[in-house]
Amino acid sequence: MSRKPSLSRRTVLRGAGALLALPWLEQMLPGAARAAAPSLSPKRLAVFYVPNGIHMPKWTPTGTGPAWELTPTLQPLASVKSDVLVISGLANDAGRPDGDGHHAAGTAALLSCTKAFKTEGTDLRAGISMDQVIANHLARQKATRFASLELGIDAGRGIGNCDSGYACPYANNIAWAGPHTPMAKEVVPQAVFDRLFGGTHAGETQAQAARRRAYGMSIIDSVREDATVLQRRLGTTDQRKLDEYFTSVRDLEKQVDAMGTPTSACGTPTAPGGDEDPRAKTKAMMDLIVLAFQCDLTRVVTFMLANARSNKVYGFLGLSGGHHAYSHHQHVSSNFDALARIDRWEVEQYAYLVRRLKEVKDAQGVPLLDNALVYFTSEIEDGNGHIHKNLPVLLAGKGGGAIATDRHLRAPGIPIANLYISLMRAMGVPNVNTFGADGTQELAGLGG
């Protein structure tokens, strides 16, 4: 059942932003799941991570409840203030490291609320992240072609230690498929674009699609047999590595299986350029998130604006020092000013995403934002003291009515895992009652 989308061509073009000069197809065919539940606009989760904490005095609104005003750092949200909920006071106790290593440990626990095992490599262990719990749930329903997308703009320097004895995967990934498996992120907009839009076979007949599926399956069968034979000859540690292989093959199989199903007919938009400027890269990634949601290619996205402990130099903000160095502010006002400038820029990028999601409507004519949950946070509160309490938290979008926005909610000392229980439930995951190390119930007051 195909349906004309309610997207106007202009909306689509705007949605594509500077990224895409389209030959945009007229039809915006909804996904397979849409057919199963035609009356529902899908819910979507986007996580926007920033490293090194936030300078909280310029971030936290003074008022509470609906009586809140935008602070200097939150000012970029002015045009979407009514769609934003600020939550103060949430804590992620599991982010505290053994000894030092707050950035890596905090980041590994960011969405998993599970304490990361301190290791430089051997015996990597964290926990499944809440976005992946949601992705798994949606994958079981075959909701979208991609269960989730993991994005970032920071490839990392690839040298030395990552953070005080914590392995780099802890610092470079917020999405974890399970205790041992970080979900590698893509940092090149072009590669993301190719993945989302490159594999479409427009105009393919059903027979051709069936043949392609059969061929794809033959490869999967073959390599799975290789792996099964191999598995019997391996010790426990190697079997664990091979488990990652089996999991990935299963995932690939789902995609091959879905071949020929018109999951996305988003046309063949033009690819983003190869600009290395972090501003251009970030914007390209935001545009890709919007497109992926709009085309219903996925409903779960995580994005890392930089890796944990990033010492990026924001020269375009007029700053000469590195982000991490500033975050150890030593209570010096010039450092506070530098941090506030970086924080505000980060919020601007987030605000852009929120604004775009508000402007773009889904196939039912509803703004994407209405049913979305757009979550902003960092691994610590303040970079100087590495505090894992009172984390900076923003939620934009109403999550289909789960969230009452335009408020400042105070939740001092409440585990952030409780927020995640609420988010997972809002995204339709059934029977989530506990999560991570300390999540025991939904976060009270989210719905107003």
Partner 1 sequence: MTSRLHERRRWLGLAGTGCLLLLAGCKGDSPPSARVLPETPQDDPPIHVTGCENTSIDPGRVTLHRLNRAEYDATVRDLLGDTTHPARAFPVDDHGYGFDNNADVLSLSPLLMEKYASAAEALIESAWTRGTLSTCALDAARPEPCARDILSRFARRAWRRPVTPEEVDRLLRPLALAKQHGDPPEVGVKLALRSVLVSPHFLFRVETDPEPGSKTPHKVSAFELASRLSYFLWSSMPDEALLQAAEQNKLRTPKELEAQVRRMLADPKAQALVSNFAGQWLFTRALDSAEPDPTLYGAFNDTLRRAMRQETELVFQEFLTSDHKLKDLVDAPFTFVNDALAAHYGLPLPGSTTPQRVDLSEHPERRGIFGHGSLLTVTSNSDRTSPVQRGVWVLEQLLCSAPPPPPPNVEGLPPPVNPSMTMKERMALHRSLPQCQGCHRMMDPLGLALENYDPIGRWRLKEVSGAPVDATGDLPDGNVLNGGADMRRFVKADPKLPECMTEHLLTYALGRGTSEADECAVRLIAATAEARGGRLSDYILAIVLSDHFTSRRGDTEAQSP
DSSP string over 142-166: T-SSSS-EEEES------S-SBTTB
The position carrying tokens 């994958």 is 139
Check if the beta carbon of residue 245 is closer than 8 Å to that of residue 292.
Answer: no
Site for partner 1 (CB under 8 A): how many residues?
88
CB nearer to partner 1: give 76 or 152. Answer: 152
Which residues in the 174-203 window bind partner 1 by CB under 8 A?
A: 177, 180-188, 190-191, 194-195, 198-199
> Segment near partner 1 (CB under 8 A), from 244-252, 283-291, 417-425, 431-439?
244-252
Mask of contacts with partner 1, 357-396, x by CB under 8 A?
---------------------------xxx----------
Quick one: which of 26, 98, 226, 275 contacts partner 1 (CB under 8 A)?
226
- List the interface residues with partner 1, window 89-108 (CB under 8 A): 99-102
Residues 135-164 that bind partner 1 (CB under 8 A): 147, 150, 155-162, 164
How far does Cα 276 stand from its chain's mean position? 21
Residue closer to partner 1 (CB basis): 134 or 446: 134
| Consecutive H or E run containing 86 | strand 84-88
- Choose, by CB under 8 A, the member of 70, 242, 258, 280 that binds partner 1: 242
Q: Which is nearer to partner 1, 281 or 361 (CB)?
A: 281
Tell me whether residue 6 or residue 218 sits nearer to partner 1 (CB atom).
218
Q: Using CA atoms of 94, 98, 101, 102 in order, give the dihedral in degrees to the nearest 10.
A: 30
Do 391 and 381 contact (CB within 8 A), yes or no? yes
In the window 299-358, what residues touch partner 1 (CB under 8 A)?
312-313, 315, 320-322, 324-325, 328, 330, 332, 334-335
**Scanning residues 245 to 284, which ones bind partner 1 (CB under 8 A)?**
245, 247-249, 251-252, 255
Q: Which of 1, 62, 121, 206 binds partner 1 (CB under 8 A)?
A: 121
8 Å CB contact between 341 and 315: no
In this chain, which of 85, 113, 167, 354 binds partner 1, going by CB under 8 A?
167
Q: In the complex, what is the shortest distance from the CB of residue 31 to partner 1, in angstroms, rounded to a whole number?
A: 18
- Contact between 129 and 424 under an 8 Å Cβ cutoff? The reply is no
Q: How many Cα neighbours within 13 Å face the side chain of 406?
A: 8
- Cα separations in angstroms, 285 against 139, 166, 232, 243, 254: 23, 28, 42, 30, 25
Which amino acid appears at position 367 of this protein? P
For partner 1, the closer CB: 35 or 280: 280
Q: Of residues 64-83, which lie at the interface with partner 1 (CB under 8 A)?
A: none
Half-sphere exposure in the Cβ direction for 359 (13 Å, CA): 19
